[in-house]
Amino acid sequence: MKQPIRICMVGAGRVGKNHLRAISRHVPSGQIVALVDPVQPVLHETGTEFEIEQQFASLEEALEGAEFDAVIITTPTPTHLPLTSLAARHGKQVFLEKPMALNLEECDQINAVTAEHHVLLQIGFMRRFDPEFVAASQRIEAGEIGQPMMIKSNTHGPGLPPPWARDLRTSNGMLAEVNSHDWDTLRWLMGSNLERVYTEVANFKGAANNVDTPNFYDNVLVNVKFESGGLGLISGVCPCGYGYDARAEIIGEKGIMLIGSLEGQALVVCTNRDHGLVQPVVRTWPERFQWAYIYELEHFVECIRTDTPPRASGLDGRLAVAGVLAGTKSFLEGRPVYLKEITG
Amino acid sequence: MKQPIRICMVGAGRVGKNHLRAISRHVPSGQIVALVDPVQPVLHETGTEFEIEQQFASLEEALEGAEFDAVIITTPTPTHLPLTSLAARHGKQVFLEKPMALNLEECDQINAVTAEHHVLLQIGFMRRFDPEFVAASQRIEAGEIGQPMMIKSNTHGPGLPPPWARDLRTSNGMLAEVNSHDWDTLRWLMGSNLERVYTEVANFKGAANNVDTPNFYDNVLVNVKFESGGLGLISGVCPCGYGYDARAEIIGEKGIMLIGSLEGQALVVCTNRDHGLVQPVVRTWPERFQWAYIYELEHFVECIRTDTPPRASGLDGRLAVAGVLAGTKSFLEGRPVYLKEITG
Amino acid sequence: MKQPIRICMVGAGRVGKNHLRAISRHVPSGQIVALVDPVQPVLHETGTEFEIEQQFASLEEALEGAEFDAVIITTPTPTHLPLTSLAARHGKQVFLEKPMALNLEECDQINAVTAEHHVLLQIGFMRRFDPEFVAASQRIEAGEIGQPMMIKSNTHGPGLPPPWARDLRTSNGMLAEVNSHDWDTLRWLMGSNLERVYTEVANFKGAANNVDTPNFYDNVLVNVKFESGGLGLISGVCPCGYGYDARAEIIGEKGIMLIGSLEGQALVVCTNRDHGLVQPVVRTWPERFQWAYIYELEHFVECIRTDTPPRASGLDGRLAVAGVLAGTKSFLEGRPVYLKEITG
Amino acid sequence: MKQPIRICMVGAGRVGKNHLRAISRHVPSGQIVALVDPVQPVLHETGTEFEIEQQFASLEEALEGAEFDAVIITTPTPTHLPLTSLAARHGKQVFLEKPMALNLEECDQINAVTAEHHVLLQIGFMRRFDPEFVAASQRIEAGEIGQPMMIKSNTHGPGLPPPWARDLRTSNGMLAEVNSHDWDTLRWLMGSNLERVYTEVANFKGAANNVDTPNFYDNVLVNVKFESGGLGLISGVCPCGYGYDARAEIIGEKGIMLIGSLEGQALVVCTNRDHGLVQPVVRTWPERFQWAYIYELEHFVECIRTDTPPRASGLDGRLAVAGVLAGTKSFLEGRPVYLKEITG
């Protein structure tokens, strides 16, 4: 048995706990040795739940007080650049949650600092490790459905994002915080970068949820034109109430491929013929992507061990942010926006 | 446009109305010109609903008072022999509902009288006309799954059968009145006759439904050994409450085939992630076999027009009755029963 | 039995034959008494197949030579106005295939002339009669999924449309000839008219199919903003090769509804575990909408009998054409187009 | 982090490797510290693959040469009693694969020796840890489908069992080695013990596979009567070629529940409308029960830590063996066999 890679988890909230659960229960090759969160009760509660003795209010303190090989950063987007820079400068390998950053300048700085200090950078695009998405990608690349012509990807989630994540003044809103993965999925499965996007948004539940943030939206459709000539669609609904819905469809010159399902378990019940068949829906993202989270973290550890560049790279992260910025600009200005307007 | 075949419907109850609906709305090649039922209010009500002016209390009266080419007999099983005999002696083509008769002697007489008077005899095994079952049969015959090794067929229905149909003193009970089709499906898709059967029954809801008939059962499993060496299963549950459930599975040397589904419509709804996905179930047999009823009646008319033997024959009807008798004898005597004990 | 409504079928091609099949086999309340087609071999072949003795090269000749109550017009879109006008002036009830016409002026004239002569006008939006779409509509109206926020509707068809139907100089292209139904479905299920649209198109297979029509496209995505504030999507792929794919998804404030499926039959086969489960796909539109075609034609006959306005009206037809025109203008001009730019 | 439980894996074959994979990759709370197999090349190869340095030809040698807390026994059935006895006498906790033993006497001895030495005994009924089966069990117990009336459980597997496992002179054949789980599932989900069974078997592929063992069968159907009055079915096909098929259906007084599916991934592809939709099938048992294997091993470790009796007990193992013996006796004697004939 090799020694596990020692990891400092930065962020003890929802995403941090998801990764702690994955690693502590199912990824023996990694070991969480320190936990960081500026909010003391959250830090304490999560630390206790996962039996992590070394708890710190900041990454600085952790770097001083504990020994570890890598960090997993699961804190709000605006903190991604400073935390990554700090970790990189201390030679720590970096797993960074999506979205990578608020803008391309930050993405560029993150990529530069990790390269300069020769540390790995993996972005938390776990769909690239989901068995179904991976099989889909391999089969598309093998030519099974021919040249991709059209791709649709949706992420509809049950919960209203936190205030900072739905406010265009502090984040890039739902397109970034909820639909982040779709931007990456589109590029990945289409095998092409985006050329231009057109976005429509709607706000149906904001008032009922007492959200009066300017430009808040809870429904979004992004029409995409790829450099390859193909077409794409990103669909977002949040909060959607009916479950966690992450599916994709790709149509190639030779055929169609449907990835994912609403079905949460193969367990069908009928007790009333007027009501009908009832089957569990996928309820949450940790449930839908349970294996994907395990595999992306195994991959991170394995990349550290073998000094291999991770599959979900800082370039992928940067291009997803570019899409978000173009998509947002589109609905704010009511016109199609070219990616080159964003990337220069 | 050819003149439609003129039909006298004998029996104005549930099955009769199902066929009246199919013919009057969707089978223009047949025309119901007379209706027979001994129960005056039923006769009148059904006749009015389907705008059939010529209504009679008996087939005798109809034969005297109306002109027609064929009869469709949908009355209780004990009447099948006398009605078929009467119709055949008057040269009328016969469509006879399942089960064909109460015993093999009656089956033999029905086959003899229709042969003697050169009239067609079609038994109401509509599964032989259901698009899914037909496609399955053709693909099995084409060798797609290889030599069939095992077949399971179930009919679970929502409603308690009428008293005569669940009493072994006046009918052959659920194995005959509900599972009649399964006996035929087994032979048809297996391509072999039955060698022996073993039956287990259970009575769970009789008491709650105030049924105190001797030997009443509402659950049945029949284990079948075919002459081909293959295995079979018939499953019956009635009343089952959750819908109308008629599915089959066949395993051949090369693979598996699943026929039918509980899904009534491709219409999935989710409004509560704790409750799950909800989809309509198949609620009734007229819904499940809507096309099968239309096609079997079109077939009957077409066979009359072209003087061709119908696909679901009196021999098929007889062998289904033989299975029913063996299956019933098995659970009454607690032992496997060979078909040759029944057929001699 | 009432006398059937006598119908003259105008157009003996693919759609005409589909309706002839539906009526002659499954709609006894209508009777095709005359057939019109300017192409003699097509006229003769179709007339022979369906045993229609009265065959005419033009509607004018049919009006002189035959007696009928109604016409079903299945000819190319540019002929819709003159044929409807002629029929209406002779007091014939009109069933008119989609798309209603090439532009709003023609739609207006069609609506005017049928109103002036007090004849019914039903547009061939058969999805309004499909059992699954009808159930969906009723359940949405009953509030089951709450206020609709987003709707996606797709029509992907297997065959390359005929030259006139894919050329923007002689038709409105695929958005009109293939996706016609989606425009109507969106309005119908959303319960709102469209406010603006943005369209992206792609041409992947044109060259391989020797299509060099200007502005030809075989993939299209239309992003829709409704007057209600909701979002919509129309997706078109033709030719798509993998089957006939007509599905819709609606997300409301309370939940999601998925209509339709790629599954053509509940018949699953597996003979090779490396290949997987195989199930028939919906192959063609006549197969997918078999009941819808029967029911829309029954409805037309019933509306004639009872002098009731049909469910799929000239207004519905006109608004679908308006959508097509806006959608086409959008991709030609590379900008979102408001419906009021089209409707004035 | 607590110290992991140290485990000696006894048996380096197919099942042993499955458990090694589960533990080493996904169950950090357990650690394989020693490996036992009498076949040197197998021992060496498996040991190398999983980086287990301490390799032994026998459990005796392992007990002398290594320190561990528990054993996992995955060797052929006839070795279960001696190996369990040896481990128990040395105070090692025991995880024992199914079937527990060849007869009830051995089961009794296994239960006695583990009880005497106060070591835990868990039988490898991993379906009791499968998320779908667990959810089904909980919902049945909660009364969701009412009193269970009928249950069907099948295990159809792709590969021909090894010679010893298909020969009634050295094992109890397929009913024991393949359908072992079904016997347990029936009791578990029905909430009742079996009263009598009737078995039919068939041999279709033996000759083609050069199997001339007496009484060899590759298809089996067992009709079950429960003490509760309910009915049951066990279905076995092996080798079946089309995949690994483990599903169950339960019908209760209030409704039906279907557990499991043939679908291996939510990844549907269609590239040819004449061929149809293609979806991965479940190919193997490690794939179908991936989580179940992880959870049963986590459970074993947790039971050791907390000194709690495991969920799948020696009593459960014993009653499954009793079913196997009754089922086998039934087809050998051609009659229904009561469980009390076996259990005395």
Q: Find where tokens 């009193």 sit.
A: D147
A150: nearest Cα among C156, C94, D42, B115: C156
Percent of chain D with pLDDT over 70: 100
Residues of C in contact with D158 (CB under 8 A): 273
pLDDT at residue C1, as a whole number: 53
pLDDT at residue A181, as a whole number: 97
Distance of residue B183 Cα from the nearest chain C Cα, in angstroms: 20
Residues of D in contact with B221 (CB under 8 A): 150, 223, 231-233
Residues of B in contact with C269 (CB under 8 A): 139, 144-145, 255-258
**How many residues are there in chain D?**
344
pLDDT at residue D134, as a whole number: 98
Q: Average pLDDT over chain C, rounded to whole? A: 97
Chains touching chain D through at least 3 C-beta pairs below 8 angstroms are: A, B, C
Distance of residue B255 Cα from the nearest chain C Cα, in angstroms: 4
Residues A28-45 pLDDT 10s: 999 999 999 999 999 999
pLDDT at residue D149, as a whole number: 98
Chain-chain contact of A27 with D31 (C-beta, under 8 angstroms)? no
Residues C86-96 pLDDT 10s: 999 999 999 99
The residues near B131 (Cβ < 8 Å, ≥ 6 apart) are B291, B292, B295, C265
Q: DSSP characters for C74-115?
A: -S-GGGHHHHHHHHHHTT-EEEEPSS--SSHHHHHHHHHHHH
Q: Which of A270, A277, A281 sits opposite B273 (nearest CB)?
A: A281
Residues of A in contact with C242 (CB under 8 A): 251, 254-256
Q: Average pLDDT over chain B, rounded to whole? A: 97
Probe site for chain B from D152, D175, D198, D228 (most B CB atoms < 10 A): D198
Chains touching chain B through at least 3 C-beta pairs below 8 angstroms are: A, C, D
A160: nearest Cα among A206, A119, A192, A101: A206
Probe site for chain B from D149, D154, D200, D250 (most B CB atoms < 10 A): D200
Average pLDDT over every residue of B163-177: 94
CA distances from D291 to C240, D26, D126, D322 (A): 38, 10, 9, 28
Residues B80-120 pLDDT 10s: 999 999 999 999 999 999 999 999 999 999 999 999 999 99
Q: Which of B244, B262, B275 sits opposite A277 (nearest CB)?
A: B262
The residues near D336 (Cβ < 8 Å, ≥ 6 apart) are B198, B334, B335, D196, D197, D198, D225, D330
Q: Find where tokens 């809507």 sit.
A: B290
Report which DSSP code applies to C16: H
Average pLDDT over every residue of C49-75: 98
ipTM of the prediction: 0.96
Distance CA A113, CA A88 (A): 7
Chain-chain contact of B221 with D223 (C-beta, under 8 angstroms)? yes
Probe site for chain A from B244, B268, B270, B285 (most A CB atoms < 10 A): B270
Chain-chain contact of D243 with C270 (C-beta, under 8 angstroms)? yes
Residues of B in contact with D192 (CB under 8 A): none
Distance CA B209, CA D87 (A): 56
Residues A283-335 pLDDT 10s: 999 999 999 999 999 999 999 999 999 999 999 999 999 999 999 999 999 99
Chain-chain contact of D256 with B233 (C-beta, under 8 angstroms)? no
Reported as a pLDDT band with limits 50, 70 and 90, residue A241 is confident
Distance of residue A336 Cα from the nearest chain C Cα, in angstroms: 7
- Residues of chain C whose beta carbon is less than 8 angstroms from a beta carbon of chain B are 1-2, 24-28, 31, 51, 131-132, 135-136, 139, 144-146, 254-261, 263, 265-272, 280, 294, 298
The residues near C265 (Cβ < 8 Å, ≥ 6 apart) are B131, B132, B135, C279, C280
Distance of residue C299 Cα from the nearest chain A Cα, in angstroms: 27
pTM over 0.95: yes
Give Cα B322 distance to the centre of its chain.
Answer: 15
Chain-chain contact of A271 with D139 (C-beta, under 8 angstroms)? no
Q: What angle do CA A107, A109, A113 make, to 5 degrees?
A: 120
Give Cα B306 distance to the centre of its chain.
Answer: 24
B195: nearest Cα among B240, B227, B228, B241: B227
Q: Contact C274/D278 with Cβ under 8 angstroms?
A: no
Chain-chain contact of A280 with B281 (C-beta, under 8 angstroms)? no
- Residues of chain B whose beta carbon is less than 8 angstroms from a beta carbon of chain C are 1-2, 24-28, 31, 51, 131-132, 135-136, 139, 144-146, 254-261, 263, 265-272, 280, 294, 298
Q: DSSP characters for B148-159?
A: EEEEEEEEE-SS
Question: From D259, which residue of chain A is nearest by alpha-carbon distance?
Answer: A267
Residues of D in contact with C278 (CB under 8 A): 275-278
C214: nearest Cα among C253, C252, C163: C163
CA distances from B293 to B127, B186, C294 (A): 9, 20, 16
pLDDT at residue B1, as a whole number: 53
Q: Average pLDDT over chain A, rounded to whole? A: 97
Distance CA B299, CA B93 (A): 13
Distance CA D246, CA D281 (A): 12
Distance CA A90, CA A87 (A): 5
Distance CA D4, CA D27 (A): 9
Please give the backbone phi and psi of residue B158, each rounded to the nearest 5 degrees, phi first.
-75, -30
Q: DSSP characters for B216-236?
A: --SEEEEEEEETTS-EEEEEE
The residues near C96 (Cβ < 8 Å, ≥ 6 apart) are C73, C80, C84, C110, C121, C122, C123, C124, C317
Q: Where are the alpha helices (DSSP H) in C218-313?
A: 285-288, 290-306
D282: nearest Cα among D296, D294, D271, D267: D267
Residues D124-160 pLDDT 10s: 999 999 999 999 999 999 999 999 999 999 999 998 9
Reported as a pLDDT band with limits 50, 70 and 90, residue D2 is confident
Q: Contact D272/C278 with Cβ under 8 angstroms?
A: no
Residues of B in contact with D254 (CB under 8 A): 241-242
CA trace torsion C19, C25, C31, C34 (10° rounding): 60
Residues of A in contact with B157 (CB under 8 A): none
Percent of chain A with pLDDT over 70: 100
pLDDT at B57 over 90: yes
Q: Detail the DSSP E strand segments found in chain A.
A: 5-10, 30-36, 55-56, 70-73, 93-96, 121-123, 148-156, 194-202, 219-226, 231-237, 245-252, 256-259, 267-270, 277-279, 337-338
pLDDT at D120 over 90: yes
Residues of A in contact with D294 (CB under 8 A): 26
Q: Which of B203, B229, B231 sits opposite D221 (nearest CB)?
A: B231
Residues A127-186 pLDDT 10s: 999 999 999 999 999 999 999 999 999 999 998 999 999 999 999 999 999 999 999 999
Percent of chain C with pLDDT over 90: 98
Chain-chain contact of B271 with C261 (C-beta, under 8 angstroms)? no
Chain-chain contact of A280 with D135 (C-beta, under 8 angstroms)? yes
pLDDT at residue B241, as a whole number: 87
Distance CA B88, CA B84 (A): 6
Percent of chain B with pLDDT over 90: 98
Distance of residue C335 Cα from the nearest chain B Cα, in angstroms: 35
The residues near B306 (Cβ < 8 Å, ≥ 6 apart) are none
Chain-chain contact of C268 with B255 (C-beta, under 8 angstroms)? no
Residues C107-157 pLDDT 10s: 999 999 999 999 999 999 999 999 999 999 999 999 999 999 999 999 999
pLDDT at residue B3, as a whole number: 87
Average pLDDT over every residue of D207-231: 96
Chains touching chain A through at least 3 C-beta pairs below 8 angstroms are: B, C, D
Residues of D in contact with C268 (CB under 8 A): 262
Probe site for chain A from C145, C217, C223, C262 (most A CB atoms < 10 A): C223
pLDDT at residue D1, as a whole number: 53
Q: What angle do CA D81, D87, D92 make, to 5 degrees?
A: 135
Residues D290-343 pLDDT 10s: 999 999 999 999 999 999 999 999 999 999 999 999 999 999 999 999 999 999
Q: Which of B254, B267, B270 sits opposite C135 (nearest CB)?
A: B267
Which residue type does D36 have?
V
D124: nearest Cα among D9, D248, D296, D306: D296
Average pLDDT over every residue of A78-85: 98
pLDDT at residue C197, as a whole number: 98
Residues of B in contact with C26 (CB under 8 A): 25-28, 294
Secondary structure of residue D202 in the 3-state scheme: strand
Chain-chain contact of B229 with D203 (C-beta, under 8 angstroms)? yes
pLDDT at C2 over 80: no
Chain-chain contact of B278 with A276 (C-beta, under 8 angstroms)? yes
pLDDT at residue A1, as a whole number: 53
Chain-chain contact of B242 with A272 (C-beta, under 8 angstroms)? yes
The residues near B52 (Cβ < 8 Å, ≥ 6 apart) are B9, B20, B32, B33, B34, B35, B46
- Residues of chain A whose beta carbon is less than 8 angstroms from a beta carbon of chain D are 1, 24-28, 31, 51, 131-132, 135-136, 139, 144-146, 254-261, 263, 265-272, 280, 294, 298
Please give the backbone phi and psi of residue A280, each rounded to the nearest 5 degrees, phi first.
-60, 135
